[in-house]
Structure 1
Amino acid sequence: MLTRFGRTIQTWTSSANPWTNAYGLARTLLALGTLGTLLFSHSSAVFRPTTISEHAPTCTAETRWALFCLASSDHLELLRWLAVILLTLVASGWRPRWTGVVHWWVAWSLNSTGTLVDGGDQITAVLTFLLLPVTLTDPRLWHWQAPPQRVALGSQLIARSALLVIRLQVAVVYFHAAVSKFAVPEWMDGTAVYYWFTDPAMGMPPWLQVPITWLVSNPLTVYLITWGTMLLELALAAGLISVFRYRGTLLVLGFVFHSCIALVHGLISFALAMGAALLLFLLPAGHILRIPWRSSKRADALPALPLDRATNLSGST
């Protein structure tokens, strides 16, 4: 039985190469979300005093190694620009094995010490952490390149397992987002979107006031958008068990959904983070995107090698 189980695991592991430009694009989107926040926001806006501490950022024993706690608050602008440089390097796709850890460190630092953070920062911190087994085993110079032709089976098992955990995590996020709304009366009676769209702080921008006012003035459209949101989130969560031919449709709907949220509420970093999450969640393992400026054609693709054979091969070259 153990031998049969081992063969099953080996077949699953070697059936797809996890180090593709699709996962690379997800990394770039995650980096761009955080990069935009830090590039266009002064440190005084990101790090503000709280009721817990009069000093910003709030550095505790748990966050003493965070990037923004490595120097005094007088040097926050310098640290912000350092983070911008590091995230630009990550977004470029250079050396995933090295920049993967840096990416998680910067994302965790902002989420842990920043005052004005949103769900996008939280998602980015979680996903960059869960991506560490994938980036640390990625031997490529750029994450836009074609998948490596010969890799150790052990490394491939680690990377594919990490991507599976990410799929589970994203499914839970969408499932919880949908189910939690059923306990809110405004979502159940179909009026929640009206309050969200017209909220003075988080609602529609002035230039969208005319079309959105028309939408929320119609009870039918408000009801459809409200319930459509919950049903779409449930459908996206079901992407975990859906067949491949439906995932493309879910991917497009998910992109449109989060683009609309960014348009109405201005949550661009959140949209980028969830766009990355959707790529990791819905694209099949080993999927290669056709990117115009990078040829990702995989020539002479070979299955993963057992760990001992891969080691011997690398030692003989």
Structure 2
Amino acid sequence: MAAGVLDAPVEVLLERGTIPSAEVLAELVPQLIATHHARGYTDASLRTLVAAAYRAPRRFVSVWIPEYHVAVSELPWVRAVERWHRHEPAVAARATLTWLAETSLRAFPGTGLPTRLVYELSRLAGRAELPTPILLEPFADDFGGAASPRLLDAARNAAELLRGTLYERYHDIDYAAVRDMADTDGREGFTRLCAERAGRPLLVPQPDHWRARPALTADPAVIEQARILTTFNLATLVRDVGLAPEPGWAALARGAFTAATGPAATAKRSARAWRQLLFHLSLCDADERTLVLAWIDVEAARLPARAAARIALPLARLRLAA
């Protein structure tokens, strides 16, 4: 029975609730990449062989080793049979990347992209030759905590996509200033901005000197501000890949609100879902946004007292920003 379930298409697993979270979906990513990539081969036997090659290392390891997919794709015989794939390697990688990201957002609109999935998307983005690399944690590339170049790249995409939107107003972001930092390689300035937004000092006293606080590597509040400012890859996927999940951003916004207010929503999950809601809502057109906001008002009035209290302040800020 279990094998039959595991052999079902991912859409069926999601519909049946067999995959209950984005984190569980991320665990299946190696198999999903293998299956999706193999579909591009015209010969059925070759599809089976290539898919098996990608899946094989999973039988022999009990921990996640993301590098093995790169190793398999570089095998001489795997590279040799690429001529029988319907698409060029970069096109095929881009298609798989888009499908994975859209599947995750459509199924779990209030969760965002799990770290394991982001790692695989980063690998695919390299093969797809995207102009902007996928952002990975840690966000700093040295012990001092200065922002990495990838963080500035992601911030530039967010600024270009979300300037003048509800997302910018709600979070009180000056995306024009963020764009200037990204264009001038303002790594220290961006790090300082994240720390200030989190209410954290950049310098902390030590017994014999002052040193820079490793804010973007050690402080969760500062890291969260970096995620907010950059949207943690969503803006990059929209701008560079054309991410547009079905059935549309308005439906994803409704799904994120449901995730933020449902019975399983802890304070942390609710905050994460609310951030997703703001992103989805900002990509709606004016009419869609009006309808979603009206729907949110109706749904908010029906919430139990505890859930209503948890979102009271964010909901008031949302109405003001809108």
The TM tier, using the shorter chain, reads under 0.3
| TM-score normalised according to structure 1 size | 0.26
TM-score (norm 2): 0.26
Bigger relative contact order (CA 8 A; separation at least 6)? 1
